Amino acid sequence: MSRIKIVNLLIICTFLFLGLSIVNLQIIQGKKFKTLSDKNCIRIMSQEGCRGKIFDREGLPIVDNELSYDLMLLPQDKREFDKVLLAVSKVLGTTQKNLKDTLKKSFVASSLPVAIAKNIDLKKAIALEELKSDFPNIIIQPRPIRHYPYGSLASHVIGYLSEIDHWRLTKLQDYGYNTKDIVGFGGIEEKYDYYLRQDEGGLLFEVDHRGKFIRVLGFRAPHNGKNMQLTLSLKAQKIVEQCLADKKGAVILMDPYSGEIIAMASFPNFNPSVFTGKLTPSITNLFNNPDAPLINRAISGTYPAGSIFKLIVATAGLETGKINSSTTFLCRGSIFVGKQEFACWDTHNYQDIIAAIAHSCNVFFYKSGLLLGAQTIHDFSLRFNLSKPIPFELPYEASGFVPSPLWKKIYKFKNWFDGDTVNFSIGQGDLLVTPLQMARVTAVFANSGYLVTPYLVKGLDQRDISNHQRKIVNLHLKPRTLNYISQGLRNAVLDPKGTGHVLSGLSISVAGKTGTAQVSHGQPHSWFTGFFPYKNPKYVICVFLENGGPGYYACVVAKQIIEQMANEGLI
């Protein structure tokens, strides 16, 4: 009977089908289901440690942590959801539907608590805790979050915290980073994330289907991140940010002998606490702002140096002997190189090296530059470590650029003309520097010949590591060279016709050089770099105003800063 045979065959086939399905489920997909099974009954109650705090040089906290509360819900008993969510929504002031959506979105497994509201303040957390007697599947989880007592102060040095992105994850996976980890972005938070980050601990335990505790499987204590002490001075930083406020630009205050950064500000800045919440419009605004508030202009912005580059040209001239103290050039307001006229900003008549620095005479440096040749200037620039990253402790440091005849030939297929040399010797043309590089160059004249390496981190978890941080290179400059140039810098302030004469009225003796760097669009960049007090320099200051106009404006900012610092007794 063929029909029976067919049915018989059918039954065999169905049994084979069942057998193969079981093989598929238990062997081929077995691992997956094993982990799912573990997920069901093994629960981790995480206990987060605190991220390391960040202190200033006096030990005052710049960034610390505060407790925030998350509302978690055990999604086991479905029937109670509506009631729980209704009660919770009343406390939180959101709609029940909103909470339900969050719950559905972040649901993982029926036994894993789902965070349905984050960063609840203490009052609401207490109110929710009281609901617990009616709804036992509510969990209020305290969680330390970053607290910024001074808001946006030193935001570029500190950086901000956010959920790890894909690019960082691929790089950091091997170091124990996971998806959804909170990591530092920019600043110290990013560079020293490995030290600052806390180690999550937790309790591993088995639960039944109602979430009832069965037994402990393991425990790991949480560890706090390491605290960091920075070289920043909160007082100085506040002054600097006050004086710079609302202008685009950067200010650096540095110890000329050690390279400690006393203050570093960049404007526009941002408030890092914006990032502790979810992706809000204000974060999107930060990223879309054309003024790039997330960029640290002090280290990541490269700009033409303008007249402050004359320090290097002067050094090159004096060191090579192409000019000396008695060399004078006549400034008639402009010179002709070939058929092209290169102007000075004034008519200075006879100028020696000291006067030329004080008056920032372009003609003097045009002529010195032509004597030296572009290659020599280029080489000296490299001795001052331009065109390279320092390397500094903050991420995204720019290297800047120093042109040379060879570079022009290779990359631009053009010859280097004397006109280029002339431009180069007053810091225009293709030259690009960062404010921090220029602060470092200035420090050489403040500390008589040493190129210091700027640094920010003074101590790590009570341990003073500044000795490891100090890297000081002797540039082996002749004392004479240094002497002439610092005199020139001082005269720039003292001389009534000096470019930095605004600063002469201060009780502190300041030496410095202004710069007005021409740009292709808009106002020139305004520079001031100098050190004070003149005799025993304590600080190097570098003020940079992006499209801030003539160097005078940078001088005014510097004046305000120095004035206030003197008032605060910092000098």
Partner 1 sequence: MKDLFRNSYFIILLISLLIASIGILSIYSSTYQKEGKFWQEISRRQILWVFIGVLVFIIFSNLNYRWLWDCTYFLYTMALFFLFLVFMLGQVRLGAQRWFKIGWFNFQPSEFVKLIILIFLSRYFSKKSTDDISLLCAKFGIFRAIILPFLFIIVPMGFIIEQPDLGSGMMIFFLFICLLYFTGVRLRYIFVFLSASFLAMPLLWHFLRDYQRERLLVFLNPNIDPLGAGYTVIQSKIAIGSGSLLGRGWLSGTQSQLHFLPESHTDFIFATFAEQWGLAGSIILLALYYLLIRQGILIARKTSDCFGRLLAFGISFLLAIQIFINIAMNLGLAPVVGLPLPLMSYGGSSTLATFIALGILVSIDKRRAVF
**Residue 535 makes contact with partner 1 by CB under 8 A:** no
Task: Supply the minimum distance, in Å, between the C-beta of residue 7 and partner 1.
Answer: 7
Kindly tell me which of 34 and 478 has the beta carbon lying closer to partner 1. Answer: 34
Task: Supply the minimum distance, in Å, between the C-beta of residue 84 and partner 1.
Answer: 13
Kindly tell me which of 110 and 399 has the beta carbon lying closer to partner 1. Answer: 110
Kindly tell me which of 138 and 541 has the beta carbon lying closer to partner 1. Answer: 138
Task: Supply the minimum distance, in Å, between the C-beta of residue 15 and partner 1.
Answer: 5
- Binders in 184-243 for partner 1, by CB under 8 A: 206-210, 214
Task: Supply the minimum distance, in Å, between the C-beta of residue 1 and partner 1.
Answer: 8
String marking each residue 349-388 x if it binds partner 1 according to CB under 8 A: ----------------------------------------
The token duo for 145 is 């979050």
Kindly tell me which of 129 and 206 has the beta carbon lying closer to partner 1. Answer: 206
Task: Supply the minimum distance, in Å, between the C-beta of residue 95 and partner 1.
Answer: 20
d(CA 374, CA 353): 19
Task: Supply the minimum distance, in Å, between the C-beta of residue 131 and partner 1.
Answer: 20
Task: Supply the minimum distance, in Å, between the C-beta of residue 179 and partner 1.
Answer: 21
The token duo for 547 is 């499209």
Task: Supply the minimum distance, in Å, between the C-beta of residue 33 and partner 1.
Answer: 2
- Give 27's DSSP letter: I
Task: Please report where in the chains the tokens 């005078």 appear, as a residue.
Answer: 552
Task: Compute how many other C-beta atoms are within 10 angstroms of the C-beta atom of residue 486.
Answer: 20
**Residue 78 makes contact with partner 1 by CB under 8 A:** yes
Burial tier of 84 (Cβ tally within 10 Å: 0-12, 13-18, 19+):
buried
- Binders in 13-52 for partner 1, by CB under 8 A: 14-15, 18-19, 21-23, 25-27, 29-30, 32-34, 36-38, 40-41
Angular region, 373: left φ>0, alpha ψ -120 to 50, beta rest: left
Task: Compute how many other C-beta atoms are within 10 angstroms of the C-beta atom of residue 293.
Answer: 20
Residue environment code for 339-366, b if the CB has 16+ CB neighbours within 10 A, otherwise e? eeebebbeebeebbbbbbbbbbbbbbbb
The values of phi and psi at residue 244, to 5°, are -85, -20
How big is the site for partner 1, counted in residues (CB under 8 A)? 38
Give the chain's end-to-end CA distance (angstroms, integer): 111
d(CA 44, CA 47): 9
Kindly tell me which of 43 and 458 has the beta carbon lying closer to partner 1. Answer: 43
Task: Supply the minimum distance, in Å, between the C-beta of residue 97 and partner 1.
Answer: 16
Choose the stretch contacting partner 1; rule: CB under 8 A; options: 2-10, 172-180, 181-189, 394-402.
2-10
Choose the stretch contacting partner 1; rule: CB under 8 A; options: 10-18, 347-355, 418-426, 542-550.
10-18
Kindly tell me which of 81 and 185 has the beta carbon lying closer to partner 1. Answer: 81
d(CA 118, CA 126): 14
Task: Supply the minimum distance, in Å, between the C-beta of residue 30 and partner 1.
Answer: 4
* Contact assessment for residue 248 and residue 261, using Cβ atoms and an 8 Å cutoff: no
Kindly tell me which of 27 and 410 has the beta carbon lying closer to partner 1. Answer: 27
Kindly tell me which of 12 and 472 has the beta carbon lying closer to partner 1. Answer: 12
Kindly tell me which of 81 and 532 has the beta carbon lying closer to partner 1. Answer: 81
Task: Supply the minimum distance, in Å, between the C-beta of residue 520 and partner 1.
Answer: 58
Q: Which helix (H) or strand (E) holds 473?
A: strand 472-474
Burial tier of 14 (Cβ tally within 10 Å: 0-12, 13-18, 19+):
exposed
Kindly tell me which of 203 and 283 has the beta carbon lying closer to partner 1. Answer: 203
- Residue 495 CB contacts under 8 Å (≥ 6 apart), including other chains: 355, 358, 359, 501
* Residue 454: cis peptide before it, omega within 30 degrees of 0: no
| 114-120 and 249-254 strand pairing | unpaired
Task: Supply the minimum distance, in Å, between the C-beta of residue 109 and partner 1.
Answer: 8
Task: Supply the minimum distance, in Å, between the C-beta of residue 180 and partner 1.
Answer: 20
Task: Compute how many other C-beta atoms are within 10 angstroms of the C-beta atom of residue 94.
Answer: 15
Task: Compute how many other C-beta atoms are within 10 angstroms of the C-beta atom of residue 409.
Answer: 12
Task: Supply the minimum distance, in Å, between the C-beta of residue 74 and partner 1.
Answer: 11
Which of these, 391, 393, 389, 388, lies nearest to 157 by C-alpha position?
393
* Contact assessment for residue 143 and residue 128, using Cβ atoms and an 8 Å cutoff: no
Which of these, 201, 185, 180, 297, lies nearest to 250 by C-alpha position?
297
Which of these, 302, 562, 559, lies nearest to 437 by C-alpha position?
302
Kindly tell me which of 9 and 122 has the beta carbon lying closer to partner 1. Answer: 9
Task: Supply the minimum distance, in Å, between the C-beta of residue 193 and partner 1.
Answer: 35
**Residue 165 makes contact with partner 1 by CB under 8 A:** no
Choose the stretch contacting partner 1; rule: CB under 8 A; options: 11-19, 315-323, 341-349, 457-465.
11-19
- Binders in 91-120 for partner 1, by CB under 8 A: 107, 110-111
**Residue 75 makes contact with partner 1 by CB under 8 A:** yes
CA distances in angstroms from 353 to 233, 360, 363, 372, 457, listed in the order given: 36, 10, 11, 14, 38
d(CA 426, CA 361): 9
d(CA 234, CA 252): 13
Kindly tell me which of 33 and 219 has the beta carbon lying closer to partner 1. Answer: 33
Question: Over the Cα atoms of the chain, what is R_g?
Answer: 32
**Residue 80 makes contact with partner 1 by CB under 8 A:** no
Kindly tell me which of 8 and 119 has the beta carbon lying closer to partner 1. Answer: 8
Kindly tell me which of 12 and 67 has the beta carbon lying closer to partner 1. Answer: 12
Kindly tell me which of 112 and 236 has the beta carbon lying closer to partner 1. Answer: 112
Q: Calculate the dihedral angle through the C-alpha atoms of 110, 116, 121, 126, rounding to the nearest 10 degrees.
A: -40
d(CA 29, CA 544): 62
Residues near partner 1 (CB under 8 A): 1, 3-4, 7-8, 11-12, 14-15, 18-19, 21-23, 25-27, 29-30, 32-34, 36-38, 40-41, 75, 78, 107, 110-111, 206-210, 214
